[in-house]
Amino acid sequence: MRPVFSTKTLVAADDDNICASQTPAAGALLLNGVAVTAGVAALGTQRRVLVTAVGDESTRTLTVTGTNEEGIVIRQTITGPNATTGATTLDFFTITGVTISGNAAGAIKVGTNGVGATKWVPLDQHVTPFHVSLQMLVGTGTANFTAQYTQDDVFAKGSESTVFKSTDTIAGGAVDVVGTLISPVGAVRMLINSGTDAVRFTIRQAGLGG
């Protein structure tokens, strides 16, 4: 497997850059935040979507539709927050629609939080020995990040709308981090938990094909 390099930077969270504050009836919310152009919110890099509710929306659901960085349409439905915030667990690159299942009890706004993951990178589970080196390098500032792995099949039909069961393997912060995996896993990714600095993620897999 050739080395895989990716750099991820999350700009600061913006809680209404997709939908500015509104009290919608059942159906579609207006996509009228500053990230929206021609009816589509572009987030710059795939990341989590944040819903902020003034009232109790817990008996309603909100569905977020858009694409990931691979251009695949993804969709997630979350329970409405009760005078607080709620977020997706899928990472969206663009948003093409947000709907609510019933008339809102109060004002709602939709934007982004400070969390976002890279795309899953599949690994070759048939090499011997299985040995993967993961490195995360922080730029000049700070960021909190985690390397994660999954045993789920990221190529499975419908997986583009699935929250894979992931396990944290390496956590870091303001320092560079290197770690290894020696038991076969299906795929790895890097999750940025907070911070606006660039983090470079490098994956190297060694071994002989089986």
Asked if residue 210 has pLDDT above 60, the reply is no
C-alpha closest to that of 95 among 61, 48, 154: 48
**Residue with more model confidence, 87 or 161:** 87
Asked if residue 87 has pLDDT above 80, the reply is yes
In whole angstroms, what is the distance from residue 34 CA to residue 37 CA?
Answer: 8
In whole angstroms, what is the distance from residue 3 CA to residue 26 CA?
Answer: 48
Q: What is the pLDDT of residue 174?
A: 52
pLDDT digits (tens, 9 = 90+) for 20-78: 999 999 999 999 999 999 999 999 999 999 999 999 999 999 999 999 999 999 999 99
Burial of 25 (0-12, 13-18, 19+ CB in 10 A): exposed
In whole angstroms, what is the distance from residue 49 CA to residue 150 CA?
Answer: 22
Architecture, CATH, for domain 11-114: Sandwich (2.60)
Instruction: Please give the share of the chain, as a percent, with pLDDT higher than 70.
Output: 90
**Contact, 89 vs 76, CB < 8 A?**
yes
Q: Is 117-209 in the same CATH topology as 11-114?
A: yes
**Torsions phi, psi for 161 (to 5 deg):** -115, 25
**The most confident of 94-108, 112-126, 178-192, by mean pLDDT:** 94-108
Q: What is the pLDDT of residue 158?
A: 65
CATH class assigned to 117-209: mainly beta
Asked if residue 1 has pLDDT above 90, the reply is no
Number of Cβ within 10 Å of residue 139's Cβ equals 14
Q: What is the pLDDT of residue 144?
A: 87
Q: C-alpha 52: how far from its chain's center?
A: 18
pLDDT digits (tens, 9 = 90+) for 174-183: 556 888 888 8
Identity of residue 108:
I
Give the tokens for residue 172. Answer: 């870091």
Q: What is the pLDDT of residue 179?
A: 86
Please report which residue ranges of the chain form alpha helices under DSSP H: none
Average pLDDT of 79-104? 98
Instruction: Please give the share of the chain, as a percent, with pLDDT higher than 90.
Output: 67
Asked if residue 209 has pLDDT above 70, the reply is no
Q: What is the pLDDT of residue 152?
A: 85
**Contact, 114 vs 12, CB < 8 A?**
yes
**Contact, 143 vs 175, CB < 8 A?**
no
Sketch the domain layout of the chain as residue ranges: 11-114, 117-209
Question: 1 to each of 123, 133, 207, how far by Cα in Å?
Answer: 8, 12, 9
